């Protein structure tokens, strides 16, 4: 019954995580809130489904058939009961350097016998000022115990999609109240 509300709450904290990748502390605060809200959606689904015939089996099938749902159930429990969920941070710095050069011309004129008969040199031109290009810093966060390629944000997005599918399936099949 309240699953959709908790999904919206989880989506809100996910959007905060996406906007906070430059601030590790804020991202981790939002991850903690995301884990709680998302897990609450499943807890509400469980509470609702277990009262209906076949609901317990329906719920268990969804949890055991999804590596993502099982992973995040453990993450939320660990986060609430043990310690904040550890994440690894990978920082990339892309720096652009500009090479400046100046030009000058030096011309020598020789006659047919090879004797120098004239010479011209231009003053070196001042190279244009180099544009200042600040380094581009990006941060990527991963769960140390997730063996696949997804980072925290990608995995949380997959989790939201899985939760949405569970809620829709439960409502469409009469296990969850709309």
Which is nearest to 152 in space by CA: 104, 108, 86?
Answer: 86
- Given the structure tokens 């050069």, which residue do they identify? 101
Q: By mean pLDDT, which of 28-37, 58-67, 98-107 is the weakest?
A: 98-107
DSSP 82: T
Question: Is 13 in a helix, a strand, or coil?
Answer: helix
Question: Does the pLDDT at position 101 exceed 80?
Answer: no
Q: What is the mean pLDDT of residues 159-169?
A: 95
Q: Tokens at residue 4, please?
A: 């959709």
Is residue 10 within 8 Å of residue 38, measured between CB atoms?
Answer: yes
- pTM across the whole model: 0.77
What's phi and psi for 108, nearest 5 deg? -120, 135
Q: What is the predicted pLDDT for the residue at 152?
A: 97
If you average pLDDT over residues 66-75, what whole number do you get? 90
Would you state the pLDDT for residue 82? 84
Alpha helices per DSSP H over the chain: 3-19, 24-49, 55-65, 67-81, 152-172
Measured CA to CA, the distance from residue 41 to residue 63 in angstroms comes to: 13
pLDDT at 130: 78
DSSP 53: T
User: For position 23, what pLDDT does the model report?
Assistant: 95
Q: Quick one: pLDDT band at residue 14, thresholds 50, 70, 90?
A: very high
Quote the pLDDT of residue 133. Answer: 87
């Amino acid at each position: 019954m309240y699953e959709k509300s908790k999904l919206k709450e989880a989506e809100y904290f996910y959007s905060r995580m996406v906007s906070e990748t430059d601030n590790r502390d804020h991202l981790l605060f939002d991850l903690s809130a995301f884990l709680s809200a998302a897990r609450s959606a499943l807890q509400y689904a469980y509470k609702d489904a277990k009262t209906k015939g076949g609901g317990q089996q329906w719920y268990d099938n969804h949890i055991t058939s999804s590596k993502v749902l099982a992973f995040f159930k453990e993450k939320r429990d660990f986060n609430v009961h043990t310690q904040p969920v550890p994440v690894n941070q990978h920082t990339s710095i892309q720096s652009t350097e500009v090479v400046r050069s100046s030009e000058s011309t030096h011309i020598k004129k020789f006659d047919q016998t090879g004797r120098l008969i004239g010479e011209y040199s231009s003053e070196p031109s001042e190279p244009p000022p180099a544009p200042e290009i600040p380094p581009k810093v990006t941060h990527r966060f991963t769960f140390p115990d997730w063996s696949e390629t997804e980072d925290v944000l990608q995995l949380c997005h997959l989790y939201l999609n899985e939760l949405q599918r569970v809620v829709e399936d439960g409502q469409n099949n009469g296990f969850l109240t709309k």
